[in-house]
Every structure is written in structure tokens, then in C-alpha cells.
Amino acid sequence: MLKKSKKRLKLIFILLVTVFLTGCWDRIEIEEFAFVSVIGLDEGEDGMLKITFQITNPQIGTSTKVQVDEPPSDIITFLSEDLVASRDLASTSIARRLTFSHAKAFIVSEDLAKSNKFYPIIEATQRDRDIRRELNLIVCKEDAADFIRNNRPPFDIRASKYYEFLTSRWEDVGFVPLSTLHKFSLRTLDDMGLFLVTYATTKPDHPKTHLDSEGDIIAGQLDKIDENPMQMMGSAVFKEGKMIGKLTGDETRLALILRPTVQTNNILATFPDPLKEGEKISAKLVRGKNKIKITITDDYPIIDVKIPLTLSIASIPSNIDYVKNQSNQKLLIAAIEKRLETVTMELIKKTQEEFGAEPFLWSQVARKKFWLYKDFRDYNWSEKYKNAKITVEYDVTIEDFGKQNRPPKI
């Protein structure tokens, strides 16, 4: 009896081991993969898609000291009816199996983003298990194929690392929004407002030399001298899955500041010096928790927003005493608050009249005023927002004036 029990246990053990061993039957060695780091989409001929892949060379940028005389990546462009199925077309020239699992950026041309077929394409690609929803979505002024080929980062050989570092800088600077495929799909399906996508170009056109502030431009308008012509500034505005306009870098920053939750909290900005015309004062902005009060009426919502900002003054080129002189300091605070409120109301007016919806995520606050989500949908928030009565108030506090207690005596 004991021998039979042992035999049964051995048989059960063997059967269990074979179950785990079956997980290796379809294994693929890592050397057999070709990792796509950037995907580009353009409109092709006869309803086709022009698809571009930037494929990372695995031998470049590793910790090994072996010198490899090869390019850091290979860029291929071809026509296809579908992005996911296009991987098989790449086998005509690439021996390895293409994978999107390590892709970092999804580049789309402005022409395609403004067409009605853009959202169905993006929605269909997300069904593929190989495409991550955390992919950064970027709209470029020119063809995506040209953008990918013209972008030549000087310090980052690997394209995947380059876009990874860019993402962390976007969170600090705020000149462009953090836009991923996942957020784009959620905002489009929600259909309660606008979605902002990073705007970029490698073909500068008519640079602006006279700026009201450092972010008063979009990509392509920055006057710079650089071997890499790429510029990322401002945002492409999407409504119902289609691009309908653009915001400058400053307008994008304001849109992020007006949102209920903190999106960017390390902004460096400049403001006109109230006591010396033509001079600017630079400061670091840290936003507190916004107070957003929304009153729902039958005809339109009434929105009151209070934004607490803490400033750390970085430089005062005019050398006017704003540190010890309390009256000057109060004048400076009042001037900054007035400046911010003026440009904010201009942006809100633009969203109401030109775009007909809001990118500030106020719909998330407004829906709490309704018992049922169906009631909120029936209210038609985007349509009512066009006639909304909105007031914005900034509460500015100066935390410090840097390392110097007083302006230098010259």
C-alpha cells in the first residue's frame, strides 16, 4: 500500500513538472528581436498609411567597450494598410522579429492628426498586446518620417533613452503636456473636453524674436542655432479625437496650472518689472491645491477658481529693492497676480470661442454635482462651457529672493 502511494506521488510530481516545462515551448531568444524605439505615422497614397520605424541597434550604447562601426539605429519607411500588420512587411529587409514592447514615442504628422481617420487608427493599434499605452504621443508639423530622420540628439545615441529623458523634463518645464496613448484614449472616449498633445518640428519657420515671455511661441518659432533642428514647444489641441488647433508654450503651462491636480510644479517664468519698463523678473513657481467651485445652472455653469502660487525670485536685473522695501514687494505681488489673471482669462476666452471646450479637466469637478453620470452626460458640459461665467483669482506668496538679501550697490 505504501509503495503504491509513493508511485502516485512520483507520478503527480512528474505531471506537475511537465506543466511548468510547457512554458518554454514558444520561447524566442532576445537576439532574434529587433526593438522599435520610435513609430511614425503619415498619410500615404490611395488611403494607405506611410509608416516609419526607428529600430535600435542593440550593439550601440551598451556597457561593453567593444568598438562597433555601425549606426545607432536604422530607419525604414514603407506603405501599409495597418500599423500592426506592417511588422511582417519589415521582414523584407530585416532578418529579426520586430517588437514594439520597448517603443517610447509615437510620432504623428499634423496632416494625419487633422483627418477623421486618425482616431480609428490609434484606437486600433492599442488592441495589440505588443504596444504599450504609455507611449508618448507627439504631433509634428512636417511628415513623421522627415521628423524622425532629421532629429539628431547630440548626447543620446539611443532614441529610446532620448525620449525617456525628454519625458522627465516635460514634467519639470511644462512647455509641453505629458500626453500618452492611454490618456488620449480616455479623454477622447470621455468626450467632455479637449486633450493636449506635445507639438514638435525639425523644420523651423519664421522664428519670433520679440516675445512677451519665454514661452510665447510654438515649435518652429524658437530662434536658436543648433546642429539638431528639433524643437518641442506648445501643444496640439484635440477634440473628439481630431486636431483642431494649437497652444503656445505659455498657454500650455497655464492650462496645466488650472487643472485640479498638480501637473507641473517646478516652473521657471519671467514677469515684467512693475517699477522699470522693459525689464523682467524671473521666478520659480510652485502651485498649491486649486480651489475650484462650480455652480450648475440650466443655461450655463458658474466657475470660480482660486490658485495659490508660491514664488522664489531668481533674478531682479533692475536692481530695485523688492526685498527690504515692503511697499515695492506688495506692488510686485499685485503686478504678478494681475498679469497672470489677464493672460489666464485670455486663454479661457480662446477655449470658449475658438475650441468650444476646455482642457482644464474641470469636467471632473462638475460631474460631482450630479447624482447620476447619465444626468451629467445629458447636461452637455462642453456645449454649456461655451457660455460659462468664469472668474480666476491668483494668490501669490513670495517665499524668498534667492541668496542675496538686497540688491548690489553699483
Residues 6+ apart with CB under 8 A from 319: 407, 408, 410
Q: The whole model's pTM is what?
A: 0.88
Query: Where is 33: in which H helix or E strand?
Result: strand 33-43
Q: Position 383: which residue type?
A: E
The domain limits of the chain are 31-61+70-249, 258-410
What is the pLDDT, as a whole number, of residue 149?
92
SS3 content of the chain, % helix, strand, coil (to 5): 35, 25, 40
pLDDT along the chain (410 residues), means of 10: 66 69 60 81 88 79 55 82 78 76 90 92 81 89 94 77 78 85 89 93 82 83 86 94 94 94 81 89 90 94 95 88 89 94 96 95 93 92 94 93 63
Query: Where is 397: in which H helix or E strand?
Result: strand 389-400
Looking at the domain that runs over 258-410, which CATH code has it been given?
Answer: 3.30.300.210
Spatial distance between the Cα atoms of 381 and 233, rounded to a whole number of angstroms: 29
Give the single-character DSSP code of 180. B
How many residues comprise the chain?
410
Question: Considering Cα of 16, then 19, then 23, then 25, what sign does the dihedral take?
Answer: positive
In three-state secondary structure terms, 384 is helix
